Amino acid sequence: MEMRKAYAATLAKLMEENKNIVILDADLSKACGTGPLYEKFPNRCFDIGIAETNMTSIAAGMATYGCIPFIHSFAPFVARRTFDQIAVSIVYAEQKVVIVGTDPGVWTAANGGTHMSFEDVAAMRALPNMVVFEPVDSTQLTLALPQIVECPNPVYIRMARKEVPDVFGSDYKFDLFKADTLTQGDDLTIIVSGINTPDCVKAAEILKDEGINVNLINMHTIKPLDKATVLESAKRTKKVLTVENANCIGGLYGAVAELLSKELPTKCDYVAVNDELGEVGTTDELKIRYGLTLEKILEKARNLIKEK
């Protein structure tokens, strides 16, 4: 199932249970998947038009009256264009708003560099009390949304719109603030967020055949970071590789490196965008262009293992 369809279906159930949840879109309800909610809850869904900053301020105002607003747009428009409104009207004013940025990083594909956000994680991480969540598949997203509604903090959801490979099964148990260990090993820690997770699962299988046992962690919540899981794994493996569809500056690698440099100095490397802007291409082409491939993950992992 497409992520946006799973998102809308889950949100519809939550809106039936909680009358305070409201939807705001910036003329992208079809693209973001919220269109069906307008038919079911016409008095609780609002298309603000191509005016993301206004949408954010309106949502903050609604939150002061007890609403739980979910606001939607493409990642750069809702995280970069609206940064000041988020910082002042939501964070400084201590309002609970859920900010949904769709098709982050190379997921933007043919929409190109103006629509491609590699810096949204860094921007949202820098805001006090902001929770930054990036689901890996529809199962994880579906289980996360009820916990996000209950979370008192503002939340940034970094979400792919279309279909992604399943990583988790029906027996999966989710905790918003606890990372998931997908494979266990003592040779290397790989910490991954978002769409690179299936490639990391494959990488762990290939490396296992080479005699390298990977402790693979899906860090779905980048802020607050699950420090205990990172430190426990790094202490055992003594080598850490992070993988993300975002800039190497300020994202998952930054969060992990900041923690380890203070608590447990550890040899680290990353697979991420090397401080560049986006461009046009298919997602697969862009993964190659920015070095986000399975082959790059394997290369960086093997190099870390060789280092003493």
What are the beta bridge partners of residue 215?
189
Pair 245, 192: CB distance under 8 Å = no
Q: Classify domain 3-159 by CATH number.
A: 3.40.50.970
**Fold equal for 3-159 and 180-306:** yes
pLDDT in tens, 117-154: 999 999 999 999 999 999 999 999 999 999 999 999 99
State the DSSP string of 97-157.
-EEEEES-GGGGGGG-GGG--SSHHHHHHTSTT-EEE--SSHHHHHHHHHHHHH-SS-EEE
* Integer Cα distance of 217 and 184 in angstroms: 9
From the number of C-beta atoms within 10 Å of its C-beta (0-12, 13-18, 19+), residue 277 rates as: exposed
pLDDT in tens, 273-293: 999 999 999 989 999 999 999
Whole-angstrom CA distances from 215 to 31, 67, 115, 218 are 36, 41, 34, 10
CA nearest neighbour of 303 among 211, 226, 159, 188: 188
Question: Which amino acid is located at 128 in the chain?
Answer: P
CA nearest neighbour of 191 among 146, 241, 142: 241
Q: What average pLDDT does this structure show over 195-211?
A: 96
The overall pTM is greater than 0.85: yes
Task: Please state whether 285 falls in left (phi above 0), alpha (psi between -120 and 50) or beta.
Answer: alpha
- Domain 180-306 class, CATH top level: alpha beta
Each domain of the chain, given as residue ranges in start order, spans 3-159, 180-306
Q: How high is the mean pLDDT of the chain?
A: 95
pLDDT at 164: 87
Pair 93, 121: CB distance under 8 Å = no
pLDDT in tens, 7-46: 999 999 999 999 999 999 999 888 888 999 999 999 999 9
* Integer Cα distance of 263 and 261 in angstroms: 6
